[in-house]
Chain A
Amino acid sequence: MSNRNKEHSDGKNGPAEPRPDHHQHHKSDATEPGAADELKDTTAADASQAPAASEGLEAQLAEKDREIAELKDKYLRAVADFENARKRIRQQSEESVRLQRESLLRDLLPIVDNLERAVGAAQGGGNGQTIIQGVQMVLGSLLDYLRVQGVTPIEAKGRVFDPRLHEAVDHVESPHHEPNMVVEEMHRGYAAGDRILRPARVSVAKGALKRDEPDADGTK
């Protein structure tokens, strides 16, 4: 009986004493230094009022239980609010991505139109030069579109091979190139802002690693 009292005297989480019976309350390791003493004093002083004291304690206990239930509810609600906010943000983000995608796709449609016109004209047996001109114009409009979107071509030909910008698919002998220079560009690389959209696909001149073989024209 006195153990129980000791546990709940000051209303704070009591000392973690081994209990004789099951208790449904907080398993806390926090020990209030003054608590036990305080209680001893209380019980000593109010020995004659023990029934009243225990009623007071039970009232306090009930109060603390209420407080805990309230705090727990607040906490759960806070976590739920956070999750709901995250869901909203995710939805908004997906919506935003969708809109941007549609905008880009829509801009591509006129280019499709023009290519279809080019095919139509060519099939109609038109003048080769004019068709070429037309296709070049379509290409020009597409490149222009990319430029407006912030996409820029990557320099490759004649540059030193740089794996940050280029992807090597061939390693070739080349008398006309310094070792480790880009010889040929298989496809152009593009950057979007400061990120690489696609590296340039290149062939690289051999000889960079082993300097013991002179190139055909005698340069090392």
Chain B
Amino acid sequence: MAKVIGIDLGTTNSCVAIMEGGDPVVIANSEGARTTPSVVAFTDTGDRLVGQIARRQAITNPTNTVFAIKRLMGRRFDDAEVQRASKVLPYKVVKNDDGAAYVEIRGKKYSPAEISAFVLQKMKQTAEDYLGEKVTEAVITVPAYFNDSQRQATKDAGRIAGLSVLRIINEPTAASLAYGLDKKKDEKIAVFDLGGGTFDVSILEIGDGVFEVKATNGDTFLGGEDFDQRVIDYLADEFRKDQGIDLRTDRMALQRLKEAAEKAKCELSTVMETDVNLPFITADQSGPKHLNMKLTRAKLEALCADLLDRLEAPCVTALRDAALKAGDINEVVLVGGMTRMPAVQERVRRLFGKEGHKGVNPDEVVAIGAAIQAGVLKGEVKDVLLLDVTPLSLGIETLGGVFTKLIDKNTTIPTRKSQTFSTAQDSQTAVTIRVFQGEREMAADNKLLGQFDLIGIPPAPRGIPQVEVTFDIDANGIVSVHAKDMATNKEQSIRITASSGLTEDEIKRMVRDAEAHAAEDHKRRAEAEARNKLDNMIYATEKTLNDHGAQLDEASRKGVEDAIAEAKTKLESKDADEMNKAADALAQASHKLAEAMYSKTRQGQAGTQAPGDGGPADGQAAGGGDGAEKKEKEDVVDADFKEVKE
């Protein structure tokens, strides 16, 4: 099925994403990177390089390596922006016959659309490699302030790259889509986009699924690189004060310094202080020199204070142009890597009076929004299938008061899960199924949703009957629990409606509680399981002794009896280790018994008497059961749960 891709064609970097099974997925390129530099280079051997590779040779080939072409898209040569850019761009910007701004590379003229097409081709290829099929359609994003000519140029770029551009959407709109804000009614959204080289702020209005751009503003020469430069200069200046050498004059050192500065800046978004550690950064007659400096978040913010200040004016102007006050803004969306910086987020908070949405990767959020739009256009994203999940685990109480989960929390519904259990006592003819919801290990700590009995189980040794318990949650969240005796086919069930459940807050609290009590819950469960195991061992060994003990000599027989008696005393201890040790000791004794039995005659019976360390291959009556729930009343005893692995 032909897929439509979403492409963020950025000034510095581009990104491509696609809808997969209802979720947007960013696609990594052949070098393993989730974004691709928007750089195109033409080598003297006639090769055309795109992306990271083009960037790597830029310094050897500056006049033929084209970057930031977005600044020229759809513009006339005489535009102020073009004139300003061409002063700093190392490649040749020329006027085409029709007055449009073109670039000239090795004597050949290219339109900005053609250059961008090379980048789009790489994004297309990236998607095709991932999907294993051809891609012919795309949604491409542009800044909200792009005019008709600029949008048309972007569409042309797509066409040249072999893509039918289903739609050109605004970058702030795409970012809003990524956060699902298209579902909002009559809200005002501010999109704050601080990327590598440019700053854009947009005010949008959303109503009935349609976004309207009310105002745009920004600073086309303010970005993350400027912040990096402040750190580089600070480190270099400090070093020069200290060591008398300016690292910026040494290419090798400067490169390491740049990387270290960017790394430090990023780290300071999560910690208050970081070390900049550059051993052997340079050398002079007296020997090698190291750079080892601490950089605090406070210092970083001080170094960038004026840059942070420059973020304000465009926001204020945009609000004014939109005829809104900061208080009118309902949502703020953060785009671009620099928005990870706490100081930037703080400015946003101050300017708009609220926190920015930042759950989606800010480097990828525009491409993700484009993919969502692509999905909508292709009819993939309909409201039909928004499946719920069950917020808490569901299960039943089993031997020892343990909570045995049948359906894990966050399982998508509707869903069904079955498991087979058995009885805890000999001749038990009924089981009580108690249905619980929650995350604690012991059933009593969870919420009881309901219970019912299944009667008429044919009397049998414990562990022999098979009771299949099935949990079913339908699309509306209604839980049904069935219990069926596989011998008689008798069934009983209970239906629990969703309203017996819990609120969002209660759910969160229960999950938190479970985490807080995890250690002690684990211990209690381990105890219960150890007790069950020991109990089963005792039962099994006693049975074997009763049935076949006559074959043993007096001494061995006594040995086993003693072991059983000893084990029984341990049943009441609350110590899981002690109980497990006792179970092992009993197993040893039981082995002797088995040895004796086998040496006398052949036994074909592989029943419940198997030693606790394995159990017969049929798995049905495995000796090491997970436990059964005991009720006080003798006549109605609850199911013993042995996991019958399918």
**Is A208 touching B59 in the complex (CB atoms < 8 A)?**
no
> Which parts of B3-50 form the interface with A (CB within 8 Å)?
21, 31-32, 41, 44, 49
Q: Does B277 reach chain A (CB closer than 8 Å)?
A: no
Given A195-B32, A199-B56, A76–B414 Cβ distance below 8 Å?
Answer: yes
Per-residue A-contact encoding for B346-387, CB less than 8 Å = 1, 0 else: 000000000000000000000000000000000000000101
Say how far B228's CB is from chain A's closest CB, in angstroms: 16
B57 touches A76 (CB 8 A): no
| A-side contacts of B60, CB under 8 Å | 161, 168, 171, 180, 204, 206, 208
Whether A87 and B410, one on each chain, are in contact in the complex, defined by CB atoms closer than 8 angstroms, is yes
In the bound assembly, the distance between CA atoms of A87 and B407 in angstroms comes to 14
Does A195 contact B414, Cβ atoms closer than 8 Å? no
* Interface mask (B379-415 → A, CB under 8 Å = 1, otherwise 0): 0000001010000000000000000000000111111
| B415-A73 in contact (CB<8A) | no
User: Using Cβ atoms and an 8 Å threshold, which residues of chain B touch A196?
Assistant: 31
Q: Please state if B59 and A195 are interface contacts (CB–CB under 8 Å).
A: no
Q: How far is the CA of A73 from the CA of B415 in the complex (A)?
A: 10
Interface residues on B, range: 20 to 34
CB pair A77–B414 under 8 Å, yes or no, is yes
- CB pair B54–A163 under 8 Å, yes or no, is yes
A80 touches B (CB below 8 Å): yes
CB of A6 within 8 A of chain B?
no
How far in angstroms is the closest Cβ of chain A from B185?
A: 27
Q: Among B31, B57, B385, point to the contact of A168 (Cβ < 8 A).
A: B57
B56 touching A167, Cβ below 8 Å: yes
> Whole-angstrom distance between the alpha carbons of A27 and B416 in the complex?
31
Q: Say yes or no for B251: interface residue by CB 8 A criterion.
A: yes
The answer to whether B414 and A163 touch across the interface, beta carbons within 8 angstroms, is no
Q: How far is the CA of A151 from the CA of B474 in the complex (A)?
A: 52
Considering only residues 53-78 of chain A, those with a C-beta below 8 Å from chain B are 73, 76-77
Bound CA span A100–B416, Å? 34
Using known A-B contacts A167-B56, A169-B59, A203-B251, determine if residue A77 contacts B415 with beta carbons closer than 8 Å. yes
A23 to B410, CA, bound (A): 37
Across-interface contacts of B385 in A (CB, < 8 A) = 76, 79
Set of chain B residues within 8 Å of A87, measured between Cβ atoms: 410-412
Is the CB of A86 closer than 8 A to any CB of chain B?
yes
Q: Given A83, A84, A171, A186, which contacts B59 in the complex, CB threshold below 8 Å?
A: A171
Please name the residue on chain A nearest to B413 by beta carbon: A80
Which residue of B21, B53, B410, B411 contacts A163 across the interface (Cβ within 8 Å)?
B53
Count, A-B residue pairs, CB within 8 A: 72
Establish whether residues A186 and B387, one from each chain, have CB atoms under 8 Å apart when the complex forms. no
Knowing A82-B21, A161-B57, A208-B60, the reply to whether A169 touches B251 (Cβ < 8 A) is: yes
Chain A 157-173, CB within 8 Å of chain B: the 1/0 string? 00001011011111100
Give the complex CA separation of A203 and B254 in angstroms: 13
Which residue of chain A lies nearest to B415 when distances are taken between CB atoms in the complex? A80
Interface residues of A in 163-207 (CB under 8 A from B): 163-164, 166-171, 180, 186, 195-196, 199, 201, 203-204, 206
Distance in Å: Cβ of A83 to nearest Cβ of chain B: 4
A32 proximal to B (CB < 8 A)? no
**Cα distance A122–B413 when bound, in Å?**
64
Chain B residue numbers with a CB within 8 Å of A77 are: 414-416
Question: Inside 8 A of A180's CB, which chain B residues have their CB?
Answer: 60
Residue of A80, A81, A86 with most chain B CB atoms under a 10 A cut-off: A80
On chain B, the residues within 8 Å of A203 by CB distance are 251
Closest to B258 in A: A169
B41, B54, B410, B411 interface centre (most CB from chain A within 10 Å): B411
In the complex, what residues of B have CB within 8 A of residue A209's CB? Answer: 44, 61, 64
Q: Are A83 and B387 in contact (CB under 8 A)?
A: yes
**Apart from A86-B21, A186-B251, A201-B255, 14 more pairs, CB < 8 Å:** A73-B414, A73-B474, A73-B475, A76-B475, A80-B413, A80-B414, A80-B415, A161-B57, A163-B41, A164-B53, A169-B251, A170-B252, A195-B31, A208-B44
* A-B pairs with beta carbons under 8 Å apart, 22 shown: A73-B414, A76-B387, A77-B415, A80-B387, A80-B412, A80-B414, A82-B21, A83-B387, A84-B411, A87-B410, A87-B411, A161-B60, A163-B41, A163-B53, A163-B54, A168-B58, A170-B59, A186-B252, A195-B32, A204-B59, A208-B44, A208-B60
A contacts, CB < 8 Å to B: 73, 76-77, 79-84, 86-87, 161, 163-164, 166-171, 180, 186, 195-196, 199, 201, 203-204, 206, 208-209
Q: Top 7 closest A-B pairs, CB basis?
A: A163-B57, A83-B412, A163-B56, A170-B251, A167-B56, A80-B412, A163-B53
